[in-house]
Amino acid sequence: MAAPPAMLLLMIVFSLAHESIAQYQVSKTFIFRIDEESKPSVFPTHYQWYASEFADQSSILHLYDTVFHGFSAVVTQEQVARLGQHPSVLAVFEDQRRELHTTRSPQFVGLRNQRGLWSETDYGSDVIIGVFDTGIWPERRSFSDSNLGPIPERWKGVCETGVGFSPNNCNRKLIGARFFSKGHEASRASFNDTLEFRSPRDADGHGTHTASTAAGRYVFQASMEGYAFGVAKGVAPKARLAIYKVCWKNSGCFDSDILAAFDAAVTDGVDVISMSIGGGDGISSPYYLDPIAIGSFGAVSRGVFVSSSGGNDGPSGMSVTNLAPWLTTVAAGTIDRDFPAEVILGNGRRLSGVSLYSGVKLKGRMYPLIYPGKSGVLTESLCMENSLDPEMVKGKIVVCDRGSSPRVEKGLVVKRAGGVGMILANGVSNGEGLVGDAHLLPTCALGANFGDEIKAYIASTPNPTGTINFKGTVVGIRPAPVVASFSARGPNGLSAEILKPDLTAPGVNILAAWTNAVGPSGLESDNRRTEFNILSGTSMACPHVSGAAALLKSAHPDWSPAAIRSAMMTTATVVDNTNHLIIDQASGNSSTPYDFGAGHLNLARAIDPGLLYDITTHDYVTFLCSIGYAPSLIQVITRSPPNCPPRRPFPDNLNYPSFVAVLPLSSLSTKTFFRTVTNVGPPNSVYRVRVDTPADGVLVTVRPSRLVFSDAVKYRSFLVTVTADARNLVMGEAGAVFGSLSWSDGNHVLRSPIVVTLAQPL
């Protein structure tokens, strides 16, 4: 017998109410920013206070007391609502999952054996780089401590014991290793011991790769199965490494664990933090709700340089992440080395691409070609798992569209369906940007134009055929560098006045050490094991800058993090090895500061920049005041209450080595920037200004146009005024026009980008 309508309605209401209550009682990890000064004296420690008033002792995951003050705990929404009203709670934010931004490159950024920055800094000896990533495979030759001196006395860190890892795995090179898994475990409710090591040991490979890129030792006869053969080395080969495992295989990296790593790294005594991590809500969240921004502020305010990857969501505009002005945000470019391959069609056409396939070759034999996307089924065009019909694919070379699943995984799908090879075709979003991969079957990656051509050939030919040739390693590629198509682009979506990314470094097809836990493709079914692997991403660019910072810190121990960044930005190059403006790989057109920041890292010049744009902690606090944050919100970032000026300052006046003029949309207007430079070159120097005007209709004036320094005068200030009429200004595709300002004394040239845009990003 059916229930009466009234009874049904009551049952539905009860069910919805029960579901709402259940959701309200679901436990999640939250991070609590606590006013440290408000602890009642009855509690001997902050931990005892937290366990008594805020959360059960068993639910508390991490305590923070160096770069951030507070704790993280697993609590219900009901508890969060209640705790949020506590007068000592300054902020609460839910734990977020972040993503990793996944030989020859040191020479490409201007480093040379026995001379220059390497020689003058003893290859970064005794500078300590902390790497936030997936851990490390300590047995690799890149982490040998041969001929290294004692561990620096200031080091206070430890080498934690865990599965497959003991203090014996550390040495004078790898001086410390920790792992942070409480946030990860709280989010997943279990730990997969078959995939991961509950220790600093690296099950993924990403962390081993980034650590050796920053500071790997010289390793002779290095290669990835024959590709990129030569001498592998990091940017700072004698720098010490401290590993902070915050990212977990197939699980990402959680804010609560990252904050704990910041706390530990600064307390341990690192000089540089390398963090190839981003995503989560970091792109859109204000700085006071972004734990990476908060943790890095605490580190930078204590003199620690923090390098971060800009993200791999390019070439879309406003895709760059890690936006805080105290972070150094890195874009990715190519180097002058490539791994060419080509597809030869039955009609004789040769289509150039790239590949890192190292198995049995096709030896010129022609095979039938098939494009599953011809059916109109999206999953088939993308060669997704279980999408291919073995009867259609067996014995053929399969054309797969790039996107939606890992590139190497598409090859595995083709191989399991009986295909003999794969052609990976870029779409519009990837353009002509190509990335080499260690595929499991003969594969060639093609740009969008050649991808379209091969599909047209298949569609118009009764019996289309083709083969793939592999050409190994080629150096001396021109043009290089080129901004990688995947590299995230500006403008800065939080603070338009701050140019992001800051600069570009090598991030395409980078050879570095690799874990022994997984093959070079990263697939569980890949039984190959290699000492080195070749990867691409802003994750690979970031440790180049981290290693560069270590070298500069070794050469100039008194330089602040901002001074080190200034030296790299103002000496960066904006031209390639053909002496033309660096190209955007996605479009084939000239790139802009929204793509490459101040330019491509050039360490041959960065060691002696002449002048520096320095920034103090007080300057950063003033910047936070200038963007309208309330003092209580600024304190979430800074720990101590800010003293904002009575009159709100201008964000444009942060002493950044770039100039972004955000002008009103429909009027003649002027923007003025105030900057101060510090002379670190010869005492008696005279610098003269040069301006490359962004566009017709834009007037840029600099006062004074000459800066005179002496033994008694180390600092000089100047004003830059940008005037334009938005009604008559023609913007490019990026919604901005670009120029530059340079200071030169005849020996040094410091270049800063100028950006003029007409609207604040949304």
pLDDT tens, position by position, 55-68: 888 899 999 999 98
Rounded to 5 degrees, φ, ψ at 684 are -95, 85
pLDDT, greater one: 56 or 572: 572
Q: Using DSSP, state whether 173 is helix, strand or coil.
A: coil
Active site residues: 133, 206, 539
Cβ(96)–Cβ(304) under 8 Å? no
Residue 760 pLDDT grade (very low, low, confident, very high; cuts 50, 70, 90): low
Q: Note the pLDDT tens digit of each residue in 294-333.
A: 999 999 999 999 999 999 998 989 999 999 999 999 999 9
Tokens of 368: 């039938």
Domains 27-94 and 340-472 share a fold: no
Give the pLDDT confidence score for residue 108 in this predicted structure. 58
Task: Name beta bridge partners: 321.
Answer: none
Q: Where are the alpha helices (DSSP H) in 273-374?
A: 291-300
Which CATH superfamily, name and number, covers 27-94?
Answer: Peptidase S8 propeptide/proteinase inhibitor I9 (3.30.70.80)
Residue 482 pLDDT grade (very low, low, confident, very high; cuts 50, 70, 90): very high
Using the CB atoms, write b or e for 580-610: b if 16+ within 10 Å.
ebbbbbbbeeebbbbbbbbbbbbbebbbbbb
- For the chain, helix (H) and strand (E) counts, in that order, are 19, 39
Q: Using DSSP, state whether 328 is helix, strand or coil.
A: strand
CA atoms of 262 and 306, how far apart (whole Å): 10
Q: Span 615-619, mean pLDDT?
A: 98
CA–CA–CA angle 307, 311, 316 (5° rounding): 140
Tell me 285's DSSP state: S
Give the pLDDT confidence score for residue 23 in this predicted structure. 45
Segment holding 482, helix H or strand E:
strand 482-483
Give the pLDDT confidence score for residue 294 in this predicted structure. 96
CATH topology of domain 340-472: Glucose Oxidase; domain 1 (3.50.30)
Task: Kindly list the domain boundaries of the chain, sorted by start residue.
Answer: 27-94, 99-336+480-606, 340-472, 619-654, 658-757
Q: Span 539-565, mean pLDDT?
A: 97
Give the pLDDT confidence score for residue 102 in this predicted structure. 60
Q: Note the pLDDT tens digit of each residue in 492-532.
A: 999 999 999 999 999 999 999 999 999 998 888 889 999 99
Give the pLDDT confidence score for residue 2 in this predicted structure. 47
**DSSP letters for 6-38:** HHHHHHHHHHHHHHHHHHHH-EEEEEEEE-GGG
Give the pLDDT confidence score for residue 22 in this predicted structure. 43
Q: Note the pLDDT tens digit of each residue in 204-248.
A: 999 999 999 999 999 999 998 989 999 999 999 999 999 999 999
pLDDT at 362 over 90: yes
The 10 Å Cβ neighbour count of residue 365 is 9
CATH topology of domain 99-336+480-606: Rossmann fold (3.40.50)
Share of the chain above pLDDT 90, in %: 77
Average pLDDT over the chain, rounded to an integer? 91
| Overall CATH class of domain 658-757 | mainly beta
pLDDT, greater one: 430 or 311: 311
Give the pLDDT confidence score for residue 762 in this predicted structure. 43
Q: Using DSSP, state whether 544 is helix, strand or coil.
A: helix
Tokens of 678: 């510090």
CA atoms of 211 and 513, how far apart (whole Å): 8
Tokens of 12: 């539905």
CA–CA–CA angle 518, 520, 526 (5° rounding): 60
Q: Span 424-443, mean pLDDT?
A: 89
Looking only at the bridges linking them, the beta strands covering 328-333 and 305-309 are: parallel
Residue 281 pLDDT grade (very low, low, confident, very high; cuts 50, 70, 90): very low
Q: Span 721-741, mean pLDDT?
A: 89
pTM exceeding 0.75: yes
Cβ(603)–Cβ(109) under 8 Å? yes
Give the pLDDT confidence score for residue 145 in this predicted structure. 96
